[in-house]
A and B are shown apart, each in its own frame.
Chain A
Amino acid sequence: MHNKAIIVDKLSKQFGDFKAVDEISFEVAKGEIFGFLGANGAGKTTAMKMLCGLSMPTSGNAMVAGFDVYKDNESIKKNIGYMSQKFSLYEDLTVRENIKFYAGIYGIASAVIVEKTKQLLLQLNLEKEADLLVGQLPLGWKQKLAFSVAIFHEPQIVFLDEPTGGVDPITRREFWNLIYDAAAAGITIFVTTHYMDEAEYCNRVSIMVDGKVEALDTPANLKQQFNVQSMDEVFLHLARKAKRTE
């Protein structure tokens, strides 16, 4: 219990007749990099939104950072970071202003914000761009910045929904370096992705098909289980069974 960041038990979300998420159960250990895979429409984003307190579950239970998703969703929010598929920084604010705003609503003291912002800009190599509008930055930089903003308040867990969509391979590698840094600092990483090379970077991965978790293990064990060479093949093997299309 104490070494689990996330505990999910038969969690479901139904939209009318459609079961977007169908009784999924899994656990994520503290400090783990957990890959949450699945084809488009498999229900990954819906499941993640329930865990973040953005969406009300239909049934089942889940504990995130030690809090119940039904009752304590506002307490969960203090302890998690979230980066959505859609780019979610303000394009009409500067890099510095975005950091200040998000840090401010988490209630971080302003002296701390100033100090940490300085460090962050140095780390991301964005010092010169600090007073540029975020809208003017290239996508890869924006994504790295968005990630850094999502973990600025030092959450226990960070949820990343396809954080590297549309980003070039070099930037993706840099992005994953940031993820490793965060994990090393003790933050649990919960990440969805469509890139199977990224799945290999995870400690464990789950693969969702049609709203259900069909496989969950380390990448090495999964490859062994399905007797294939790469995560790509594991994914194809499972995802081909999907009946849902987007």
Chain B
Amino acid sequence: MSPLRYILEKEFKQIFRNPAILKVIFVMPVIQLIALPMAADYEIKNINIAVIDRDHSSVSNKLVQKITASNYFKLVDYNSDFDASMELIENDKADLILEIPKNFESNLYKEKETKLFLAVNAINGVKANLGAAYMTNIVQAYNADFRIQTITPGRFNELPIFEISSTNWYNPKMNYKIFMVPGILVLLITIVGMNLSSINIVREKEMGTIEQINVTPIKKIHFILGKLLPFWIIGLVVISVGFLIAWLIYGIIPLGSYFTLYLFAAIYLLVILGIGLLISTYSENQQQAMLVTFFLMMIFVLMGGLYTSIDSMPDWARWFTRLNPISYFIEVMRMVVLKGSGIIDTGKQFIIMIIYAVVINTWAVLSYQKRA
């Protein structure tokens, strides 16, 4: 019987005997998958706004009502003093100041034109940008309402208006959870897989058992496979749990087939576990392995296209993301889940992942030296 069988038996026993590892494998991903998508939300709510109303007219009142009626803004101050509002921004109590000038209403009626002033606290760039954009939308909508009410019907419209209407394909309601959950699932199996595999061989080094292994006639390929396969199976189990949660809690069912996703995940896991094993064969102890893994994970996650769009990165960064396995899986995940893409549509990603898996694992086998 192949020695591989004995190695696998031993690895599985050790994994299931370690309560910490079990938690990392099963409890952590479940909690994260439930908690993270709730928090990692692209929509910005609760933008604190200070309104300086110098007009106190019915039009200005209505505008303020419109703003506060939306979910996005929270009125923290309503006065007529710019300095006081500026102080709120400085103390980080307000994100936006909207200034309604004197004669806002009368200018609007008499001169058909008026101005609003918006000051944005750009320390939190995302919040500020979105806040300003939401505000512009609200003002425009109000503006349109106002025109309909005041322009005499039948009369020739002096100013033509462009209006853009957009449809969100593949995610019509722009439900960010459909967008985020599959991505977070990719991150989870990556973190679990890479962490576990990277501390595995190095753990044997620390305990001294690797020497005992190296003095046996074990084949390198058997040893590496024995380390890889258990985590590969565990990775596929974790991803299944993830799909289950995505369906039960978020109602996400891929438009494409689970088969495509599993096939890609199977290859992807080989890449991730191979990277972990590589780190492990080069590290002296577990701390070293964990630090290197952490460093790599940070880069992979932040440049993986989940939190920031790869298309808007500078050229060098986009070039770099081509080396980032996470970016491929997130892309495939989204294509299959949202668009219903099949294996042929994702062929490019499949081929790249297969090459990646072969290169990394060959390297891992070669770098494991039984003799120093």
Contacts and interface: CB of A to CB of B under 8 A. Distances in A.
A82 B6 contact: no
Contacts of B13: 92-93, 97
Given A52-B215, A55-B371, A104 B14 contact: no
A101 B7 CA distance: 7
A84 B3 contact: no
Contacts of B213: 105
Contact of B10 (A53, A86, A87, A93): A93
B211 A88 contact: yes
A101 B10 contact: yes
B209 A74 contact: no
B211 A90 contact: no
A89 B209 contact: yes
Given A87-B208, A105-B3, A92 B14 contact: yes
A54 B370 CA distance: 6
Given A56-B372, A91-B207, A110-B1, A97 B212 contact: no
Given A88-B208, A92-B18, A101-B9, A106 B372 contact: no
Interface string B92-123: 00000000000000000000000000000000
B209 A55 contact: no
Contacts of A109: 1
A104 B371 contact: no
Given A73-B371, A80-B215, A88 B209 contact: yes
B370 A53 contact: yes
A80 B218 CA distance: 13
Contacts of B348: none
Contacts of B6: 100-101, 104-105
B10 A90 contact: yes
Interface string A49-81: 000111110000000000000000111011010
Given A53-B371, A86-B211, A88-B211, A78 B10 contact: no
Interface residues of B, number: 25
B166 interface: no
A104 to B, nearest CB: 3
Contacts of A97: 10, 13
A88 B370 contact: no
Contact of A105 (B7, B14, B207, B208): B7
Contacts of B5: 104
Interface in B1-23: 1, 3, 5-7, 9-10, 13-14, 17-18
B214 interface: yes
A54 B211 contact: yes
B217 interface: yes
Contacts of A106: 3, 216-217
A102 interface: yes
9 contacts: A54-B215, A77-B215, A86-B208, A88-B209, A88-B211, A89-B212, A91-B207, A102-B212, A106-B216
Interface of B: 1, 3, 5-7, 9-10, 13-14, 17-18, 207-209, 211-218, 370-372
Interface of A: 52-56, 73-75, 77-78, 80, 82, 84, 86-93, 97, 100-102, 104-107, 109-110
* 4 closest residue pairs by CB, A with B: A104-B6, A86-B208, A88-B212, A82-B215
Given A90-B209, A100-B6, A104-B7, 9 more contacts: A52-B215, A53-B215, A54-B370, A77-B216, A88-B212, A89-B212, A92-B18, A101-B10, A104-B5
